[in-house]
Amino acid sequence: DAKTTQPPSMDCAEGRAANLPCNHSTISGNEYVYWYRQIHSQGPQYIIHGLKNNETNEMASLIITEDRKSSTLILPHATLRDTAVYYCIVRVANWAGGFKTIFGAGTRLFVKA
Amino acid sequence: NAGVTQTPKFQVLKTGQSMTLQCAQDMNHNSMYWYRQDPGMGLRLIYYSASEGTTDKGEVPNGYNVSRLNKREFSLRLESAAPSQTSVYFCASSVNTEAFFGQGTRLTVV
Q: Higher model confidence: residue B77 or residue B97? A: B77
Q: A45 and chain B: CB distance < 8 Å anywhere?
A: yes
pLDDT confidence tier of residue A42, bands split at 50, 70 and 90: confident
CA-CA distance, B35 to B50, in Å (whole number)?
Answer: 15
pLDDT tens, position by position, B4-59: 999 999 999 999 999 999 999 999 998 899 999 998 777 888 999 988 989 999 88
**What pLDDT is stored for residue A5 in this prediction?**
94
Contact flag A95-B100 (C-beta cutoff 8 Å):
no
CA distance B30 to chain A (A): 6
- Per-residue burial over A24-52, b if 16 or more Cβ lie within 10 Å, else e, is beebeeebbbbbbbbeeeebbebbbbbee
Q: B53 and chain A: CB distance < 8 Å anywhere?
A: no
- Residue pair B109/B85 in contact by the 8 Å Cβ criterion: yes
Mean pLDDT along residues A62-66:
97
